[in-house]
Chains A and B, each alone.
Chain A
Amino acid sequence: MLLEARNVSKAFGNFRAVAGADLTVEEGEIVGLIGPNGAGKSTFFNCLAGDTLPTTGRILFDGADLTRAPPEAHARAGIGRTFQVPTTFADMSVLANVMVGAFLRHPHRNDAREHARRIVEMTGLRAEQPARSLGTPGRKRLEIARVLASEPRLLLLDESLAGLTPSELQDAIALVRRIHQMGVTIVIVEHIMEVIMTLTRRVLVFNQGRVIASGTPEEVVRDEAVIEAYLGRGAPRQRESS
């Protein structure tokens, strides 16, 4: 078991954004996390990445308890993440951005640059381009490159493929596949069902802070609770009668 999140909750005042969520990820999996807007996916993600301290529950990574560890400790342990709103280092070049990630395992500049160059090449970015001049798809790609350079064992992708054109989407899916083939375990939050269907074997559906269904993508899209969560109560019956 690579990642085990047990009974994770996060409350903001009286509002429980995450309410007792469980997630276990085996090494080598790609797990999808879906759910309507405001279901608590991102908050749950932030708990896994150490960005948000959960109110209850435990997060174990490779047997070590990381529940209360800061995000940098999560990164060192091997959990990498991207952000829903891409946060690249705008004042730096693409290569320098990726080098910041590479420095985690390669403290010396030349090693880090060498490593970063390979990643930049693999992700199809231009090394010397200023990060500021990238559009949203480029920034998302750069975020993936940057976190990849830190050599994570588990990668948490938070809607990294949203807002792409169909051809960009195909490239991005291919890139995620490549990363997976490199031996990186992936948890992916995504709204686009095409991504979930093609990439994942196992999907968890979030609603109102809890996991309401899990299984193969084909199973969950037929799940009544899932349809209800997305379309509202009564939707399955209406669909049958129509």
Chain B
Amino acid sequence: MKKYLAQPASAQRVSVCLLAAALVLYPLAFSGAFYRDIGVTFLLAAISASAWNIVGGYAGQVSVGHSMFFGLGAYTPLLFYTLWGWPPLAGIPVGILLSVGLAIVIGLPTFRLSGHYFSMATIAVAELIRIFVGTWALVGGAIGLQGPAMSRGWWDLTFRGDLPYYYIFLAVLAFVLIVTFALERRRFGYYLRAIKSSERAARSLGVPVRRVKLQALALSAAFTSAAGSLYGVKTGFIDPDSGFGILVSVQMVIFAALGGAGTLFGPLVGALILVPLQTAANTWFGGSGSGLTFILYGGIIVLIARFEPGGLFDLWHRFAPRVWRRVHAA
């Protein structure tokens, strides 16, 4: 064990294995409905924040409108079920395709903007979609849509307890992180970080900036859409606010930023801290309808922006060497 402690790289591998084991074993250790609900909520938050991280973190294109993909992913399976009785499982890939299409349509004009202007444009588009969906009767208007009440088979993805959802979500999260890890190490990942740092310099080195940003947004949209679909089928209900609401977008940004945007595990760590905190706040102070969540997010934004723009991972990287030294010396 001493050997591991002396080598941060292997220590990292060990902590990843420990984390994976903890996540796999968590529902077995905590079987209460309350704890499982937290677990599922955490995984969903981690998936969407990690999906956002690809374009918002690595490429530094801070979208605050990712709810457009989340909502599209959540609505599509439920809509196809309501209209034609499609099993939700069949609707998920359609939602992903629609989201990728939307990402390209949105990305082409908005990527001409940079910094805050890009963020503002994404908010505007997401809000327009939310308002539009709220007035469109075919998709349930302001009331929203419902999924299958009774399961006709596993392809309906309608389960009694939270346990099947937990493991499905965990598998999706693992997939998203593995894909991100693989891309991070390739040319694509280097290009994303270069774009984040300086688009002008990146272009001068032959990086096709607009294409790379579009690819990142499309991939991010696909994963976000999948997260939305999982939310839709798990909850069995979706309305404009829970699908396309700005809080959905803001959550992804906050989770990723708190943990560390542009790092592989940052969004997961952010969700790991914030989801239980949120649940606790809702339990203690009653109801999610209160503005407390917003106050919490606002406070976190202020703290991150003021003290730790790099997120907790950055903080860890600065303090870890000292901790290692002390552990080693002891």
Q: A residues engaging B (CB < 8 A)? A: 49, 51, 70-72, 74-76, 80-81, 83, 87-92, 96, 99-101, 103-104, 107-109, 112, 146-147, 150
Contact indicator A100/B202 (Cβ below 8 Å): yes
B222 to chain A, nearest CB (A): 23
Residues of A within 8 A of B193 (CB): 89, 91-92, 96
Residues of A within 8 A of B197 (CB): 88-92
Residues of A within 8 A of B322 (CB): none
What are some 17 contacts across the A-B interface (CB < 8 A)?
Answer: A71-B204, A72-B204, A75-B203, A75-B205, A81-B204, A89-B197, A91-B193, A91-B196, A91-B262, A100-B202, A100-B205, A103-B187, A103-B190, A108-B187, A109-B185, A150-B205, A150-B206
CA distance A147 to B207 in the complex (A): 12
Residues of A within 8 A of B290 (CB): none
CA distance A74 to B200 in the complex (A): 13
Residues of B within 8 A of A80 (CB): 204-205
B102 to chain A, nearest CB (A): 26
CA distance A13 to B258 in the complex (A): 45
A188 to chain B, nearest CB (A): 16
Residues of B within 8 A of A91 (CB): 193, 196-197, 262
Residues of B within 8 A of A108 (CB): 187
Interface size on B, residues (CB 8 A): 21
Contacts between the two chains (Cβ within 8 Å), count? 73
Residue of A with least CB distance to B197: A89
CA distance A90 to B193 in the complex (A): 10
Contact indicator B186/A109 (Cβ below 8 Å): yes
Tell me whether B20 is interfacial, beta carbon within 8 Å. Answer: no
Contact indicator A89/B187 (Cβ below 8 Å): no
Residue of A with least CB distance to B186: A109
Residues of A within 8 A of B207 (CB): 72, 100
**Taking A75-B205, A96-B193, A104-B206 as contacts, is the C-beta distance between A51 and B187 under 8 angstroms?**
no
**Taking A72-B206, A75-B205, A109-B185 as contacts, is the C-beta distance between A87 and B191 under 8 angstroms?**
no
CA distance A142 to B201 in the complex (A): 12
Residue of A with least CB distance to B262: A91
**Taking A87-B200, A89-B197, A91-B197 as contacts, is the C-beta distance between A107 and B205 under 8 angstroms?**
no
Residues of B within 8 A of A107 (CB): 187
Please indicate which of the listed interface residues B186, B198, B201, B202 has the most CB atoms of chain A within 10 Å of its own CB.
B201
Cβ contact of A72, chosen from B185, B187, B190, B203, cutoff 8 A: B203
**Taking A107-B187, A109-B186 as contacts, is the C-beta distance between A92 and B194 under 8 angstroms?**
yes
CA distance A112 to B186 in the complex (A): 10
CA distance A108 to B185 in the complex (A): 10
CA distance A70 to B205 in the complex (A): 11
Residues of B within 8 A of A96 (CB): 190, 193
Please indicate which of the listed interface residues B190, B204, B262 has the most CB atoms of chain A within 10 Å of its own CB.
B204
CA distance A100 to B198 in the complex (A): 12
Sample of 9 further A-B pairs with CB below 8 A, known A88-B198, A89-B193 = A70-B203, A71-B204, A72-B204, A72-B206, A75-B205, A89-B202, A91-B193, A91-B262, A100-B205
B172 to chain A, nearest CB (A): 26
